[in-house]
Each structure stands twice: as structure tokens, then as C-alpha cells.
Amino acid sequence: MLILLIVVSGATLWSGSAAAERYSDFSKPELDPTIRDNNVVASGETRTFRLSVQNRHDGSTKMGRGVDSISQIIQSHRINIGAATATSATVQAGDAPLDVRTGQQSLGTIDAGSNRQTAVTVEVDESATPGTYRLPVTVSYSYIFNILPDSDEYVINRNTETTTEYVTVRVEPSTRLAVVDTTGQSLYENAEGTVSVTVRNNGSEVASDATLLMEESSPLRPQSNDISIGRLDPGETAQASFQVGIGEFNTAGNYTAAFRLQYEDENGNTMTSAARTGSVVISPAPMYNLSAETTGLYVDSRGAVAVTVTNTGERTVRDARAVLDPLEPFTLVSSTASIGTLSPGDSGTAHFKLEASDQAIAQTYPLTVTVVHDDAYGNAVESEPQTIDVGVGPESTIQVVDTAQVSAGGTETVTYTIRNIGEETLLDAVARINTNSPFDTDDDTTYVGTLAPGEEATVSYTVSTDGAVTPKTYSLDMSVKYDNALGDTVVTDVSRAPVTVTAGGSGLPFGLSETIIVGAMVPLLLGFGVVYRTDLLSRVR
């Protein structure tokens, strides 16, 4: 016991007469630690409970003579009779199968009849044997031992004391979940795969009507849960599989999967175990390389784009297909094309038909392609969109390279040379003219066959001309209907076919007809008594 001597007023030591007038105040606190919460813990559990230290002193004093002087000292110095000051408490494990994670706790002053509380955390051993255990609690504190008055001087003596008391905890039989093994199948970004887990009851209590739960933890999102495993005896193992979706993540690798066991204990109470974790591997998403080749795609015509998809990732993809997003100036005849199963390094080609409008420009356009495949549960998984370049050629057209000639009022054959000035080969081509006044025809088509870019062909038609037509150069409308490389029928723009009309072929001067000339001369000849030939008159008639 340590006795502190405090001289409050005066500086002299006590004389014999002072000792004869000594008065004592016995105010030693009575400190009692207890656990305020439920003191029941389970094997493998980490638990924080409230430790309360109660001062059971009643606050009364036992004093000798000189009560008035003692009271004055108590009042002037605001002394709390029976108070414990500078109080601290330390909980130890003793022989209990647990570790105390909290060190010495300061509680300050505990007045008589009051208490102070603090938090204490314990971690129970995984293999703790059920039973009741006492935890030593070491409490240190100071208190006023006595007050010694003498005339106008007095001394206050304090003691510092350390005591050990005990609190009780009970380790009850319990079910304790342990994760033995976890594996993942088909786990990659934006897909759904499977997480399989093996668990064991490492506790001392039977788990009845047990259900295994998987908790969500990024990027794992359980799609199925509450897997029933029935009765799980101590030391027994069970297996369960969960359908799990994978969200976005930054890096492929190991990720934590957390599980809990929900069950009925031996008293029929519904219990849930602490979470236990395992690790599963999440793979990168499939990756692809794209290339494109265009066939027969020209302004105002229909063509095809072949998209080659190469699996550059580490995973085989099933039922892969390429999806082409629409974009002006194209109209998609087909937007989705199947590729099939692609193992790592394999390639497949998707074919699309699309039509370039007449507003298109001969240039290269970017088109967006997404590769879609089915995951292990048949869900569609889309890749990141990629861009391919699609080239559009100029509209197919022909040029008439010469000029035909006909006589007015006649029916003649006109001949033209046409040249393919486009970039596309014309297959099974037929050239056609359209006539209007002063021309007419009942022979308006000529078969050409194949006409490659830059190649020429000769076409001819029978054309009738109105006799009253003014001699000059006119033009006919000509177009070519053909099959493109995809077998689609296409018609070129209309081209102008020039034709020159000359005067009729009588040989008379001024272009007048014989009938008009002779009819005008007969009266004149008769007036002069000229004999004329009857065969000429016959011609006039």
C-alpha cells in the first residue's frame, strides 16, 4: 500500500499534540467489474462487449472528533468521499480459450455509487471447448485514505491500490463454418459463370436445415442463392454451386468470394454464421481483331461487306456473331451474321448486305461492329464496339463515245459505241434507248454481255424519223441494265446518245420535192405551147 502525504496548508511537521488530534476518514472504494452484455460467445467468434466497473462505496464517512474542521476541508476542496480516481482496468484471458484484443483502459474518476464503462474485444479460439471461463480484471485506482487537521493546517493522504476481480464468459456449443475449397468456372467480365464451394462444420454443434448463402462482393454478383445442404454434423463437409454474374473490373486475377451458413441450432433457434471467404480466379473478357473487305458496294447500289473476326483472347467463345450498327448513308439488308464457335486464335467471317443510297459519296465510311457470344448460361455477352472501314465506289455509268446519223423522214439503223467508265464490271448487260418525238423505234434494246471497267461495246437500233423534222443534232436517252457481283439487277444513270438528222435524199435543189416542182411548172409550159411528156405528168399525178 502506497501512502501519499499531501500538505494542504502550513509547512510544519506534526507535533505530538497534533498526532493526538488526528481524525480519520475511511473512504476506500469498492470496485466491482461486470460484463453488461450477453456474455455468451462461440468458437471462432470475435466479440466486443461492454465492461462496467461499479463503485459500491455508499459515500458515508467515519470520523472522530473535529467534525466541523473535517467538513470544512471536504467542502472547500470538493472532496468526493469514497471516489476512485485515476482508475484503469485491464482484462486478461486467464485460462479461457480466447485472446483479449483490448489493452489497458482508462476509466478516470468513479464516484461512490456510480460506474464507468469501456469496450473490450475478445477473439475466441477456433477450437475452443464449450464451457464457462473466468477472465481476470486488474483494476488500479487511487482514493483518500485520511485527513489530518490541526488548528489552521491539515494533511490529505491518498493511497494507490491494485486489485484483481473476475468476469465470466461462457463458450457455448456452436456451428462454425469453414471454407475448405472454392473454384470458378467460366468467370469473366460481363458473363455469368459458376462458383463451387466446399464447406465444413468446424464447430461442436449440429447445424440442422442448413442453407448456404453467397454474399455479393465486387465484381461477384450471385444470381442464385440459398443453396440447401441439409444437416451438417461437426466435422462434416458439404458442397454447393452458385450461378454468379461478373461485373466490370480493372484487372483479371483472384477475387474474394464470401459465404454464410444459415441453420437451426440444437435449441431450434435460427442462426447465421460469421462470413467465411474463399478465392476464385476471374479471367479477362474475350478479345477480337476485326478486318473488312467490301464487294460490289457503289453509290446507289447494293453490295456486301465481309467482316473477318479473329479470337485474340484466351477463351473459346460459343455461337459468336457479328452485329453491324446502321449508319447513314447505308441501309442494312442484314445486320447480324453468325460466325460460330471460335477457339483462341481462330477466325471466322461474317457477311453483310447493305445498300448505299444515291446521296452517298464515293469514299470510305466507318461502321461499328460488336461481337456477341453466349456465356455458359446462354446469356448474350457483347464485346466492346470496334470500327471497320467500308469503301463505297462511284455510281456505275456508261459513256456514249460517238454520234449516230439519220436522214429526215427515213427508217434507218443507228450504231453507237458505249464505254464502261465506272469501276464495276457489268454482267449480263443490256443497253436500251428511249425515244420521243421526232423519233420512234420498235427495236430499243441491245444485248451487251459483260462489260469490264474501261471496256467498249457496239450497240445498234432501228429508228424512224419524222419527215418534217428540222435537220440538226438531237439526243436519245440510253441506260444499261446489268447484274452486279452479288447477282442483283442494277440500272445505270441515263446517258445521252447524240444523233444528227440530215435532210431527205431527193437530189432536187433547195430541198423541194419533185411533186411540188412539177406541179408548179405545168401551167407555165402550157402557156408557151410547149409539148410536155406524158410520163412526167404521170409522175406529177
Convert 160-202 into a string of H (helix), E (strand) and C (coil): EEEEEEEEEEEEECCCCEEEEEEEEECCECCCEEEEEEEEEEC
Average pLDDT over residues 351-357: 91
Q: What average pLDDT does the chain have? A: 85
SS3 for 283-336 is ECCCCEEEEEEEECCECCEEEEEEEEEEECCCCCEEEEEEEECCCCCEEECCCE
Average pLDDT over residues 61-82: 59
80-127: pLDDT as tens digits: 778 899 999 999 999 999 999 999 999 999 999 999 999 999 999 988
Residue 418 sits at φ, ψ, to 5 deg, of: -115, 150
Whole-number Å distance between alpha carbons of 59 and 451: 121
Report how far apart, in Å, the C-alpha atoms of 350 and of each of 54, 306, 332, 393 are.
82, 6, 14, 21
pLDDT exceeds cutoff 50 at 410: yes
Whole-number Å distance between alpha carbons of 538 and 305: 76
Whole-number Å distance between alpha carbons of 416 and 402: 6
Q: Classify strands 495-502 and 404-407 as parallel, antiparallel or unpaired.
A: parallel
- Which strand ranges, in their side-by-side order, compose the sheet holding 192-201? 177-185, 192-201, 237-246, 220-222
Residue type (1 letter), 492 = T
Question: Residue 68: which pLDDT band, with cuts at 50, 70 and 90?
Answer: low
pLDDT exceeds cutoff 60 at 525: no
SS3 16: helix
Residue 528 grid coordinates:
408557151
**All residues at 6 or more sequence positions from 507 whose CB lies less than 8 Å from its CB, including other chains:** none
SS3 127: coil
Whole-number Å distance between alpha carbons of 473 and 413: 16
What is the pLDDT at residue 346? 96
pLDDT exceeds cutoff 60 at 526: no
**All residues at 6 or more sequence positions from 204 whose CB lies less than 8 Å from its CB, including other chains:** 43, 129, 130, 173, 174, 176, 234
Residue 474 grid coordinates:
438531237
Whole-number Å distance between alpha carbons of 98 and 111: 32
Segment among 211-225, 314-328, 444-458, 495-509 with least mean pLDDT: 495-509
What is the pLDDT at residue 76? 60
Whole-number Å distance between alpha carbons of 323 and 320: 10
pLDDT exceeds cutoff 70 at 490: yes
What is the pLDDT at residue 509? 40
Whole-number Å distance between alpha carbons of 228 and 43: 24
Average pLDDT over residues 532-538: 38
Residue type (1 letter), 326 = P
What is the pLDDT at residue 254? 94
User: Percent of the chain beyond pLDDT 90?
Assistant: 62
Structural domains in the chain? 2-172 (2.60.40.10), 177-282 (2.60.40.10), 288-391 (2.60.40.10), 398-502 (2.60.40.10), 512-541 (no CATH)
Question: Residue 152: which pLDDT band, with cuts at 50, 70 and 90?
Answer: low
pLDDT exceeds cutoff 80 at 533: no
pLDDT exceeds cutoff 90 at 77: no
SS3 206: coil
Residue 76 sits at φ, ψ, to 5 deg, of: -70, -30
Whole-number Å distance between alpha carbons of 289 and 313: 10
Whole-number Å distance between alpha carbons of 344 and 352: 24
DSSP 8-state symbol, 213: E
Report how far apart, in Å, the C-alpha atoms of 56 and of each of 25, 84, 101, 159, 255 are.
17, 11, 28, 18, 54
DSSP 8-state symbol, 528: T
Whole-number Å distance between alpha carbons of 480 and 477: 11
- Which range scores top for mean pLDDT: 45-49, 126-130, 229-233? 229-233
What is the pLDDT at residue 9? 37
Residue type (1 letter), 541 = R
What is the pLDDT at residue 517? 40
User: Percent of the chain beyond pLDDT 70?
Assistant: 83
Segment among 51-60, 394-403, 450-459 with least mean pLDDT: 51-60
* 302, 332 Cβ separation under 8 angstroms: no
**All residues at 6 or more sequence positions from 303 whose CB lies less than 8 Å from its CB, including other chains:** 294, 295, 296, 297, 353, 354, 355, 356, 392, 484, 485, 486
Whole-number Å distance between alpha carbons of 526 and 178: 142
* 484, 490 Cβ separation under 8 angstroms: yes
Which is more confidently placed, 159 or 166?
166
Please state whether the peptide bond connecting residue 149 to the residue before it is cis, i.e. omega within 30 degrees of 0. Answer: no
Whole-number Å distance between alpha carbons of 208 and 262: 9
Segment among 7-21, 83-97, 264-278, 374-388 with least mean pLDDT: 7-21
Question: Residue 257: which pLDDT band, with cuts at 50, 70 and 90?
Answer: very high
**Cα-Cα end-to-end distance for the chain:** 169
